[in-house]
Amino acid sequence: MEPIPLCKRHVIATSAEDYALLERAPQALLGALAATPKTFERLLGQGDALPLGMSLPCPPVPDETDVPWTERYIEMCKEAFRPRMHDETAFYYLRGAEDFRALRAAVLALTDMTGRTIIAELHAGEEGRMTDGTDCLAAVGVLQRIGVATVILSAAEPEQLEDALERIAPYARLSVGVCVPCQWLRDGIRLTNVELLLPAAHERAEQVWQALENYQGGRTIGRDHDDVILAPDGRDAHFIDAVTDISDEIACDCHLEENLLAIEDEEAAALKLLIHEEDDLYNLETDVYMLSRPVCLCAEDPELLERALRIYHGLAIYDGTWEQDPALVKYFSEKYGMICL
């Protein structure tokens, strides 16, 4: 795969005033993003020179952790998003998710509701991980296979952002942007494979564009790791190939927790979980935090398989056990990022 072009002063407008930049630098703005429905209407009045998006704040994660947590949070997202959705919207920007599991559920909610382009916000912390401990590479690996077209990374410190960008760059198959203060650009922050910039709070697109005028910190590295498959478990990144060793079958029954503990020392690269009945879904969601290796999900009933795919916030593997209709396999791969071996 050829290296992507380095960002050439491409910025997202966030106010009607930002549109003035089009007169002096027609290629400077890639799109416009409204933070509120009121701002959306104002930007809509600027014409169709730019694709216009709407920001969708993710709702707070409920204190209750009772199963089914995932479907309950998906419904919360739909309820929160619906009043902010608009027929004229070109893309939606998911922001403010408290953790990666919530962000993935928000993406599923949005893809249930619309086929519009999705941009997702990731906040990087120490050592290339999100604040909840999720590896940014694992997050990107999941998001790029479930319908997210672009991720926008931010961080509290420039070094945290640099580390996260370097970690995801060789494996990202989506567009990568950043939201950074202009001062970081003037200080020469190292941005790897960044294609667009979103102004930080209280800054304008023109300020970002001007800060990029003498910016020399960008770099491009190749994406040349197509010989391995990125298979995150929902928190950590793992790499597999077409002949990855998969464990013996593990029933998702009431003994799932003890069965997972019993195979901790086995060398299988992936765990094969069997879903036979609805109660197995309860057990899977209850013990999903224990899954620290790639997971192969198997169910004879396609409805049970889909419900399991919605619960598991990594990328599940499909190895052909209980052969499914090819059209369903294609749908599960596109909707939930299911990896077919």
Statement to judge: residues 277 and 133 lie in one domain: no
Beta-bridge mates of residue 274: 251, 298
Asked whether the predicted pLDDT for residue 1 surpasses 60, the reply is no
Q: Report if residue 153 sits inside a domain.
A: yes
Q: Report if residue 3 sits inside a domain.
A: no
Number of domains in the chain: 2
Note the pTM of the prediction, 2 decimals.
0.94
Report the pLDDT value the prediction gives residue 2, as an integer from 0 to 100.
43
Q: Report if residue 4 sits inside a domain.
A: no
Statement to judge: residues 188 and 284 lie in one domain: no
Domain holding 93: CATH number?
Answer: 3.20.20.330
Cβ 227 vs Cβ 40: under 8 Å: no
Q: Report if residue 194 sits inside a domain.
A: yes
The Cβ of residue 253 has, within 10 Å, a number of other Cβ atoms equal to: 13
Asked whether the predicted pLDDT for residue 234 surpasses 80, the reply is yes
Domain holding 299: CATH number?
Answer: 3.20.20.20
Average pLDDT, integer, range 263-281: 93
Q: Report if residue 150 sits inside a domain.
A: yes
Average pLDDT, integer, range 6-27: 88
Among 219, 253, 288, give the residue marking a domain's end: 219
User: What is the 3 state secondary structure string of the chain?
Assistant: CCCCCCCCCCEEECCHHHHHHHHHCCCCEEEEEECCHHHHHHHHCCCCCCCEEEEEECCCCCCCCCCCHHHHHHHHHHHHHHHHCCCCCCEEEEECCCCHHHHHHHHHHHHHHCCCEEEEEEEECHHHEECCCCEHHHHHHHHCCCCEEEEEEEECCHHHHHHHHHHHCCCCCCEEEEEECHHHHHCCCCEECCCEEEECCCCCHHHHHHHCCCCCCEECCCCCCCCCEECCCCCCCCEECCCCCEEEEEECCCCHHHHHHHCCCCCCCEEEEEECCHHHHHHHHHCHHHCCCCEEEEECCHHHHHHHHHHCCCCCEECCCCCCCHHHHHHHHHHHCCEEC
Statement to judge: residues 206 and 266 lie in one domain: no
Beta-bridge mates of residue 270: 246
Instruction: Name which residue leads in pLDDT, 321 or 338.
Output: 338
Report the pLDDT value the prediction gives residue 7, as an integer from 0 to 100.
53
Statement to judge: residues 193 and 299 lie in one domain: no
Asked whether the predicted pLDDT for residue 65 surpasses 90, the reply is no
What are the pLDDT digits (tens) for 305-323?
999 999 999 999 999 988 9
Statement to judge: residues 209 and 150 lie in one domain: yes
Average pLDDT, integer, range 17-27: 93
Statement to judge: residues 336 and 248 lie in one domain: yes
With both helix axes pointing from N to C terminus, report the angle between 326-336 and 100-113 in degrees, rounded to the nearest 10. 130
Boundaries of domain holding 74: 11-219
What are the pLDDT digits (tens) for 113-152?
999 999 999 999 999 999 999 999 999 999 999 999 999 9
Cβ 177 vs Cβ 195: under 8 Å: yes
Closest by CA position to 58, among listed 20, 15, 93, 30: 93
Q: Report if residue 278 sits inside a domain.
A: yes
Report the pLDDT value the prediction gives residue 3, as an integer from 0 to 100.
42
Q: Report if residue 333 sits inside a domain.
A: yes
Query: Among the listed ranges 20-34, 60-74, 270-284, which one has the minimum average pLDDT value?
Result: 60-74
Statement to judge: residues 254 and 196 lie in one domain: no
Statement to judge: residues 284 and 153 lie in one domain: no
Give the mean pLDDT of the chain. 94
Among 193, 219, 245, give the residue marking a domain's end: 219
Report the pLDDT value the prediction gives residue 64, as an integer from 0 to 100.
78
Residue 222: band (very low, low, confident or very high) from pLDDT cuts 50, 70, 90: confident
- The dihedral over CA atoms of 233, 237, 243, 247, expressed in degrees to the nearest 10, equals -40
Statement to judge: residues 21 and 140 lie in one domain: yes
Among 219, 242, 267, give the residue marking a domain's end: 219
Average pLDDT, integer, range 76-105: 98
Q: Report if residue 6 sits inside a domain.
A: no
319, with CB counted inside 10 A (0-12, 13-18, 19+), is middle
Dig out the tokens for 111 from the structure: 């893809």
Beta-bridge mates of residue 272: 249, 296
Cβ 234 vs Cβ 313: under 8 Å: yes
Beta-bridge mates of residue 118: 92, 148
Statement to judge: residues 205 and 240 lie in one domain: no
Average pLDDT, integer, range 22-46: 95
Statement to judge: residues 53 and 176 lie in one domain: yes
Statement to judge: residues 247 and 173 lie in one domain: no
